[in-house]
Structure 1
Amino acid sequence: MPKDRRRRRRGNPGTETETKARRKKKKKIKRSLAVMFAAFESEKAQPQPKLDRAYDDDVVESSAEESSYPPSPLLHKPYIPDELAHRPDIRAAYKHAEAEYRADKSCRFVFTSDRYSPRSCLSNDRSLLHIREPAKDAVLFAANSVVALESRLDDEPLNRCSGLWIQWDDKKNTAVVLTSAHLIRAKEYDEWKNEWTDEYHREAEVIVRLLDDTTAEASLLYLQEHYEFALYEVVVDKPVQLSTFNDNVNSGQDGFRLGRDENLDLRITHGRVEYRIPIRHERCHYMYFSNDEHRFRDDGGPIIDLEGKVVGIVNNQINETFLPSSILHKCLNSWRKLKCVPRAHLGMTFTSIKLLDPICIERIRRKHNISSGIIVEQVSKESNAEKLGIRKGDIIERFNGEYISSTTELEKMLLDIGGDQFDQAKVLNAEIGVQIQIFRATKLCRRVRNLTVIVSDCGENIIEGTYPITDGLWK
């Protein structure tokens, strides 16, 4: 009998195994919830941290204290009765009472007195009347995750940008903010390229201005020069609101660019998302935010849709360019997994056929039976692509056996190739081969070629092919 009782106390071995498995699963869930990431629309949204709502407690306390405090004095505007208007002492008393009235009024309406200050497009642009209400809700929803950042170099101001929260670590009380690389870019401006220099000050001091009017020092976690974004870690004493992203963005859709000014007030700019043929010194994966307001610098701020979801971050407000969330999604996944963003460098830039005028598209289809693909715009001097015979004007129809119709599709493929290669080899600057199907513009023929590309975490620079003129026409 004692043995039987001991066996019953031990319990069923199978049940104990299941219990241990459940405990391990709970611990795993707790560990996974300790670090929360921004949600993308294609992923299952993670539970957001509960933000402090101090005013809820204040309401309870104020209701309990209200009985012990008399109500505030009435705020009535003074005036002079007509029958006393001739008396100088009454007029003097009126001036004194009027001054007190204005002072009391300014104190009482401190939270709403700025309603007469310059307003955003959502108040003064009547063309937005049909989307005003959902747009306001979207802006206020997204604003919770938008902060301001400032950089300094040798105690001198360097740049100001906006940013958004993308990660929260509950155990370490740290958060990660995503912003534009312009925050630590050298100030020299290249007038020929119409852009800032590619030199970055990684050692620059960066301060994040939090929404409660406090500041926190930020440390650089990662700088991605090709996609022009930076990640900073900040120690915070309470949870932050993480951004929600939308990978799906269509040309022509309404959007709003958000940023914060020197007073932390929200800046709101309405525009439309569009694809364009990039100019020479622009990355071919850019999208564009067309708008009529160019006085604000909102680099690093989000472009949001009418649901408040981020469809991209601004990397150059002057040129109206932004990095779409579909590419940013892959970049952040690589960084979380590999702590870098490996990408296959082709040594070329491209334009999508579908961005051309319909007359040109129809002509290419009619004469060469090509309905989609990407056109080679530049080939880097002495690159593998140049050595292989690829020239400006050639059309890439397939990449690794897959038809390709846009530069965004190509960019995702390059990130996948780079990520897979680095995940296996654990080294950067490695050479691998890719297969491309080319339509040669000069010979009007198709060829399949194997191109050697380099997997790198750096920005890809395209070197223009030039040659010197040393002999004159007349001697």
Structure 2
Amino acid sequence: MRSGPGSKVPDSRTRRAASDEDQERPSLPPSLEPGMSTMPPSSSAPCGSPACGGTSMEEPSREELPAPSSRASPSQSLPAVTEAPPTYWFARPRRADSMTMSYDPQATESKQSELDLPLSTPQSQFNDSSIASEEKQWEVAQDQQDSDSSADSSPLREPQAPLVPILRTPSGEVVYGITDDPVAAQAYHWAYRKYEEKLARQEQLPTLRSSSCASSCTTECYSPKQKKIFLNASKSVVSLSAYHDGTEINQCTGIVVEWDDVKKTAIILTSAWIICTKKPFDDWSYKDYAPEAKVIVRIPDDTASDCRLLYFSKHFDIAFFETMGELTLPIVPLKPDLEYGQNLCVLARDNKTDLICTTVRVKYVDPYEYQHNHYLFIDGSIPKCGTGGALADFSGNIVGMLFCTLPIVAFIPSSLILTCMRLWRNFGQLVRPQLGLKLRTVDFLEMAHIELLSRKYNIASGLIVREVFSQCAAEKHGIRVGDVILSCQGENISNVTQLEDILLGVGERHLEKGNDSGSKVDVEVGVFHVRKCSRRLVTLTVELSDGIEVFH
């Protein structure tokens, strides 16, 4: 007959009654009772063998168990055996019309009674229709059993296999196998499949489910106090999804930075990538945006609401959205001071809105040539939907906003974000002079390199020119690759964040005077020309722009 679902039936030899068909098969030693199975071939190792991950087992002997005329019932006593653990094999089901069926109702009655199934006697023939009927009977019986359980959930218990003793090894181990009664074996296999399905559903319960942060391959080492701080901050971290032409185009994380008690609306800070339909690999290239895209915010309590786009910056890649509908959302403070070398925490949402929480540090590295000057970096990783997430210190303050960039994750410091928010609030735009320079930080060089610059050129900090845009004002004034920018508008600078704050301040003062955002301004920079070993102040007349600074 055909074996039930999930059964493991080795192609072992079984004792058969003499017939024309069996005369062609090798005969078995007469030492085994009818119904006793010999040792399976090597292709089907017993559950105690190394192939199954267990201990090895000696060759079973041909010694009979003092058994009755048919396969022994579990209730029947066996001779005393040694302390060796029992080994289990699966007895092969046998056709009733080609062998003597050793069938003992007592051997299967106890197992079948547990499953509440009708006991079946051996049949002369088993075909597909009878097996299908048995499967249907089992499904009906299982449905009845589930309906009789409690309204909440029935206890999860692994079904017991209908085992009967088969033979004994020389070391005294008793070998068991599943009964050759087809109904009992089929019922067990179906019960075990239902058990596995229910076990899989149980493992998806929120209290038992594996953490989604396991993908980060890091182990949490937070104290209960730290966890409370981060969990409180995570209430202001939400998930955003953007849809264009009925299709989801992006999903990312957002940070609640403002709350209006009168209108019951919140301002959410996130990345402009949420509405970006075409984002080139090079940040200095043009991007395509869909400001009309529909954006939905999902807050931690599984509430969803539409958002309205207030503003987005193509250069800084940030966006502000306002929630629509009465939602109660806490805000988390943005801390302008970032201390290098301190432990920080990533707070973001995955594509199921579950919290991503990992410990990271700020990396002392410069952006790649295809990345913006104002990016700083961390040593951790986030999924793409973590873009717009929060970088928090261990006091729960937000010190930056994350971007899923390659090869390492970038962030914009909160000091720069606060300046952008102030300009947007006051003028509705973020204008800044475009210098046409790609820069790297002296402080991020190796110590020996810094010592060389200090000893040879008396330079301890500043920004090294990596690339100069063709035909820009800086190039016309003799600024070349390798020169060092020491100051801007009379202020010494040591990192790009300081330079960006100064440039935004230039744009802010220009707009405060009522000037147009598209006009030109003068920017004074202090330059060290490495080829001439000379220092000088250069006044660059450059354009103000709210758009992206593009390098061709």
Fold-level similarity (TM above 0.5): yes
User: CA 1:227–1:97 in structure 2 vs 1: closer, same or farther (change >3 Å)?
Assistant: closer
In structure 1, C-alpha distance between the alignment counterparts of 2:290 and 2:113, rounded to whole Å: 67
User: CA 1:161–1:341 in structure 2 vs 1: closer, same or farther (change >3 Å)?
Assistant: same
1:326 equivalent to 2:403? Answer: no
In structure 2, C-alpha distance between the alignment counterparts of 1:328 and 1:357, rounded to whole Å: 29
Unmatched tracts of structure 2, length 5 or more = 1-74, 77-105, 118-141, 157-197
Trace 1:53-452 onto structure 2 (pairs within 5 A). 87=110, 90-92=113-115, 96=145, 100=149, 103-104=153-154, 113-119=205-211, 128-129=220-221, 131-187=222-278, 189-190=280-281, 193=282, 198-291=287-380, 293=381, 295=383, 297-318=385-406, 319-452=408-541
In structure 1, C-alpha distance between the alignment counterparts of 2:542 and 2:252, rounded to whole Å: 34
- Given that 2:284 and 2:372 are in contact with CA atoms closer than 8 Å, whether structure 1 keeps it comes out as no
- Given that 1:297 and 1:317 are in contact with CA atoms closer than 8 Å, whether structure 2 keeps it comes out as no
SS in 2 for 1:273: strand
- Given that 2:267 and 2:320 are in contact with CA atoms closer than 8 Å, whether structure 1 keeps it comes out as yes
In structure 1, C-alpha distance between the alignment counterparts of 2:215 and 2:536, rounded to whole Å: 57
Kindly state the Cα deviation for residue 119 of structure 1 after the two structures are TM-superposed. Answer: 2.0
Deviation readout 1:67-118 (Å, 9 max, x if unpaired): xxxxxxxxxxxxxxx99996467513598489836824699x9999323322
User: CA 1:183–1:362 in structure 2 vs 1: closer, same or farther (change >3 Å)?
Assistant: same
Deviation readout 1:212-257 (Å, 9 max, x if unpaired): 3232221211011111111111123133111222212222322222
SS in 2 for 1:439: strand
- Given that 2:267 and 2:323 are in contact with CA atoms closer than 8 Å, whether structure 1 keeps it comes out as yes
> Which AA in structure 2 matches 1:180?
S
User: CA 1:201–1:171 in structure 2 vs 1: closer, same or farther (change >3 Å)?
Assistant: same
Kindly state the Cα deviation for residue 343 of structure 1 after the two structures are TM-superposed. Answer: 1.5
> Which AA in structure 2 matches 1:308?
G
- Given that 1:186 and 1:197 are in contact with CA atoms closer than 8 Å, whether structure 2 keeps it comes out as no
> Which AA in structure 1 matches 2:329?
V
- Given that 1:334 and 1:341 are in contact with CA atoms closer than 8 Å, whether structure 2 keeps it comes out as yes
SS in 2 for 1:264: coil
Determine the structure 1 residue equivalent to 2:53: none
> Which AA in structure 1 matches 2:149?
E
User: CA 1:297–1:197 in structure 2 vs 1: closer, same or farther (change >3 Å)?
Assistant: farther
Determine the structure 2 residue equivalent to 1:17: none
SS in 2 for 1:183: helix
- Given that 1:312 and 1:325 are in contact with CA atoms closer than 8 Å, whether structure 2 keeps it comes out as yes
In structure 2, C-alpha distance between the alignment counterparts of 1:365 and 1:118, rounded to whole Å: 52
In structure 2, C-alpha distance between the alignment counterparts of 1:452 and 1:97, rounded to whole Å: 80
Determine the structure 2 residue equivalent to 1:19: none
My pick for the range that moved more, 120-129 or 222-231, is: 120-129
- Given that 1:182 and 1:315 are in contact with CA atoms closer than 8 Å, whether structure 2 keeps it comes out as no
- Given that 2:220 and 2:358 are in contact with CA atoms closer than 8 Å, whether structure 1 keeps it comes out as no
Q: Which has the higher helix share?
A: 1
When Rg is computed on C-alpha atoms for both structures, the one with the higher figure is 2
User: CA 1:189–1:406 in structure 2 vs 1: closer, same or farther (change >3 Å)?
Assistant: closer
SS in 1 for 2:308: strand
In structure 2, C-alpha distance between the alignment counterparts of 1:340 and 1:417, rounded to whole Å: 14
Deviation readout 1:375-417 (Å, 9 max, x if unpaired): 1111111111111111111111122222211111111111111
User: CA 1:196–1:155 in structure 2 vs 1: closer, same or farther (change >3 Å)?
Assistant: farther
Deviation readout 1:22-70 (Å, 9 max, x if unpaired): xxxxxxxxxxxxxxxxxxxxxxxxxxxxxxxxxxxxxxxxxxxxxxxxx
SS in 2 for 1:313: strand
SS in 1 for 2:269: strand
Kindly state the Cα deviation for residue 166 of structure 1 after the two structures are TM-superposed. Answer: 1.4
User: CA 1:197–1:207 in structure 2 vs 1: closer, same or farther (change >3 Å)?
Assistant: farther
User: CA 1:197–1:116 in structure 2 vs 1: closer, same or farther (change >3 Å)?
Assistant: farther
SS in 2 for 1:452: strand
User: CA 1:154–1:196 in structure 2 vs 1: closer, same or farther (change >3 Å)?
Assistant: farther
> Which AA in structure 2 matches 1:175?
A
User: CA 1:195–1:352 in structure 2 vs 1: closer, same or farther (change >3 Å)?
Assistant: closer
SS in 1 for 2:115: helix
- Given that 1:186 and 1:196 are in contact with CA atoms closer than 8 Å, whether structure 2 keeps it comes out as no
SS in 2 for 1:171: coil
- Given that 1:168 and 1:240 are in contact with CA atoms closer than 8 Å, whether structure 2 keeps it comes out as yes
TM-score normalized by structure 1?
0.72
User: CA 1:334–1:254 in structure 2 vs 1: closer, same or farther (change >3 Å)?
Assistant: same
User: CA 1:409–1:329 in structure 2 vs 1: closer, same or farther (change >3 Å)?
Assistant: same
Determine the structure 2 residue equivalent to 1:69: none
Kindly state the Cα deviation for residue 312 of structure 1 after the two structures are TM-superposed. Answer: 0.8
Deviation readout 1:129-165 (Å, 9 max, x if unpaired): 3x44344223201111111111111112211011011
In structure 2, C-alpha distance between the alignment counterparts of 1:210 and 1:127, rounded to whole Å: 26
Question: Which structure is richer in relative contact order (CA contacts within 8 A, separation 6 or more)?
Answer: 1
Deviation readout 1:401-436 (Å, 9 max, x if unpaired): 222111111111111111111111242022111222
User: CA 1:97–1:198 in structure 2 vs 1: closer, same or farther (change >3 Å)?
Assistant: closer
My pick for the range that moved more, 212-221 or 330-339, is: 212-221
Kindly state the Cα deviation for residue 210 of structure 1 after the two structures are TM-superposed. Answer: 2.8
Kindly state the Cα deviation for residue 266 of structure 1 after the two structures are TM-superposed. Answer: 1.3
Determine the structure 2 residue equivalent to 1:60: none
- Given that 2:369 and 2:438 are in contact with CA atoms closer than 8 Å, whether structure 1 keeps it comes out as no
Aligned identity (percent) is: 30
- Given that 1:175 and 1:236 are in contact with CA atoms closer than 8 Å, whether structure 2 keeps it comes out as no
